[in-house]
Amino acid sequence: MNPLLDFSGLPRFDAVRPEHVTPAIRQLLDENRALIDALVTPETAATWDAFVQPMLDAGERLSRAWGIVGHLHSVNDVPPWREAYNAMLPEVSGFYADLGQNLALFAKFKRLAGSAEFPGLSPARKRIIENDLRDFRLSGAELPEEQKPRFKEIQEELSALGAKFSENVLDATNAHAEWIDSDADLDGLPADAKAAARAAAEKDGRQGWKFTLHAPSYIPVLQYCDNRELRARMYRAYATRASEFGPAERDNGPLIERLLALRHEEAQMLGYASFAEVSLATKMADTPAQVAAFQRDMAKKARPFAIRDVAELRDFARRELGMETLESWDLAWASEKLKQQRYSFSDDEVKQYFPEPKVLAGLFRVIESLFGVKLSPDIAPAWHPDVRFFRITRDNGGDGKLIGQFYLDLYARETKRGGAWMDEAITRRRLRAGVQTPVAYLNCNFPAPVGEGTQMRPATFSHDDVITLFHECGHGLHHLLTQVDELPVSGIHGVEWDAVELPSQFMENFCWEWDVLSAMTGHVDTCAPLPRALYDRMIAAKNFQSGLQILRQIEFGLFDLLLHSEFVPGGDARFMDLLATVRKEVAVLTPPEWNRFPHSFSHIFGGGYAAGYYSYKWAEVLSADAYEAFEEAAKTSGSTLDANTGERFWREILSVGGSRPALESFKAFRGRDPQPDALLRHNGMADLRTSVA
């Protein structure tokens, strides 16, 4: 049997090969098309059991198989898998485009929505049907027949361009390396970063040190290395990835222009003024103007703090570092020097207290304490030897009931796309044989252990890495702890995109709690726990340059929004001109003119965040407010790891998935509408809120 067609259990990563992709996906596409042809006939009643359920069953088989292919394209992007993925991408995109434009299907859904059966359906099933009707309209089902082929062409080309954009970023990242022969050129660089660079050089059969643009290699150089010329070279290489400054075949500039033009054309065909309006049709926010106002209000509040941050950094650089001018490649380095002087610790010092085994144990303790579950190692075939697998169970009278499972792929690799993300392998749903438990992929790009055999040192994570891990686990919990049995609204399915970051950002907060950190740290050499004095300095430094960090996120979010709402593709202005305008409005630090950040902005050009990057900040309001409930509980229980509040968070937020509007879920948990006060307080801005507003 083709392993991609085996849906009896977990993905068969030990057996699936690139040559399996085309025959399996084509078979599933043919099966889905044949089923749909049968479902739209008059003989098939417009009922849930006769019409909707068979389509969900067949659709899940296709999405599961194609999901495996897409996952391997992300984590094992070798030529055979890239070719196999790209070979079928147009056919898969075309199928979904046809599905969304099928008027007979649309009519049958409308018939079901108006039938006598509909009022008696469960709230989850009603929401599925309502979402489907909305999505049919957004997929062009109501377009004139003569326009539908063009709309389908747009969807197929958008899919191909998004995949190519991400591939170009990965290829450009892999293409650059800095080779250093003298140890003196690496003054200031932490020992583990040097060891990793030495190992990378040895792997390539060379002496010295090899540095790349992958985050575990690039970030330490920019943050710690005293060699300004090396920092400048690596910054320029990183900031110009996939742009006109490299090979033409990897230049994402033309792809961006084409993506924007196609999205604008799609919006016009659907009767919307802009693609941003199309994007917001499935989100909590109502209009681009509302989102722009939200972001500008946040920028207004953060700007005085950012101005203060920059003034302090420049003054410190002049007094202590003898630098009259700070370039972009100096900012992280000078900021680290200032942070060390002000708070008497470095990020590298903290990193030594976060070896991977302690971090994972601490993370699992948080999840187990909050939600009354048990996380245990499990066994499953994986795509790389470093990948681990775990199960989540919950005792109901001692039965240890399986709730879900997840793969954990922590380390950076040349064949793995950058960043961190959660994706689904299997989604919870109810079958005749019982409940199908969910399975998730959790992916990060952290530095791997260094050494061999008995000399192997465990990977150590920066505190930012720990926060990232908690963030992705929040997404994973949203998928894994769902109690909804209808697949289209189970887990993260059906959740408004600007609310989907709520559980992930919520989990980040625990990374600042003493009773959490003290139990999840142990020095990599001595096993000593994180000293309380060092923790206190970390807390004091928590909002170090928070104004700058907020403005950076607003810069990205506002650029994304205006790019998809006010920018006119193909006009006299270029997208880099718009970015310059946004920076003039909100930024207090401006990178060099040759910086090509948009060319690697995969969130909006290679992912699902187009006209939605604001979601991170929008959801931060929700997550900070939700976490405040745990802070309130801690006043009585003594810990934010409060099981009663955790149970309510599970019941009202995590368990319901997309079965009801996110705002209703939030209000069910907090008993009121969300408020921004907690977010301002968490960012150190509460005291000056009145004068800043």
* Average pLDDT of the residues of the chain: 95
Give the pLDDT of residue 686: 66
Give the pLDDT of residue 692: 25
Residue 285, Cβ density class (10 Å: 0-12 exposed, 13-18 middle, ≥19 buried): buried
The answer to whether the pTM exceeds 0.75 is yes
Give the pLDDT of residue 689: 39
Q: Does 235 map to a domain?
A: yes
Residue 687 clears pLDDT 70, i.e. is over it? no
Residues 49 and 135 in one domain: yes
pLDDT digits (tens, 9 = 90+) for 19-54: 999 999 999 999 999 999 999 999 999 999 999 999
- Please report, for the domain that includes residue 122, its CATH number: 1.20.1050.40
Residues 185 and 65 in one domain: no
Q: Does 284 map to a domain?
A: no
The length of the chain is 693
Residue 303 near residue 586 (C-beta atoms within 8 A): yes
Band of the pLDDT at 690, cuts 50, 70, 90?
A: very low
Residue 89 near residue 163 (C-beta atoms within 8 A): yes
Q: Does 384 map to a domain?
A: no
C-alpha distance from residue 442 to each of 201, 424, 662 (Å): 29, 9, 23
Select from 172, 195, 291 the least CA-distant residue to 241: 172
Tokens coding 185: 């050129």
Which residue among 266, 356, 472, 620 is the active-site one? 472
Residues 37 and 86 in one domain: yes
Q: Span 245-271, mean pLDDT?
A: 97
> How many other C-beta atoms lie within 10 A of the C-beta of residue 613?
25
Residue 453, Cβ density class (10 Å: 0-12 exposed, 13-18 middle, ≥19 buried): exposed
To 10 degrees, what angle do helices 191-203 and 215-224 make?
140
Give the pLDDT of residue 397: 63
Residues 12 and 55 in one domain: yes
pLDDT digits (tens, 9 = 90+) for 655-677: 999 999 999 999 999 999 999 88
Tokens coding 250: 């990897």
Which residues are CB-neighbours of 421 under 8 A, at least 6 positions away? Answer: 74, 443, 472, 475
pLDDT digits (tens, 9 = 90+) for 338-363: 999 999 999 999 999 999 999 999 99
d(CA 445, CA 457): 18
Q: Does 60 map to a domain?
A: yes
Share of the chain above pLDDT 70, in %: 99
Which position has the token pair 């969304």? 100
Give the pLDDT of residue 398: 62
> How many other C-beta atoms lie within 10 A of the C-beta of residue 36?
19
Q: Does 108 map to a domain?
A: yes
Residues 135 and 185 in one domain: no
Q: Taking the mean position of all CA atoms in its chain, how far away is CA 165?
A: 17
Select from 659, 656, 483 the least CA-distant residue to 130: 659
Which range of residues forms the domain containing residue 56?
A: 3-142
Residues 117 and 192 in one domain: no
pLDDT digits (tens, 9 = 90+) for 588-625: 999 999 999 999 999 999 988 999 999 999 999 999 99
C-alpha distance from residue 259 to each of 9, 16, 106 (Å): 37, 32, 28
Give the pLDDT of residue 617: 92
| Count: domains in the chain | 2
Residue 693 clears pLDDT 70, i.e. is over it? no
Give the pLDDT of residue 271: 96
Residues 8 and 132 in one domain: yes
| Beta strand residue intervals within 264-318, DSSP E | none
Residues 128 and 195 in one domain: no
Active-site annotation holds for 472: yes
Residues 98 and 193 in one domain: no
Residues 67 and 137 in one domain: yes
d(CA 49, CA 468): 42
Domain boundary (208, 241, 274) is at: 241
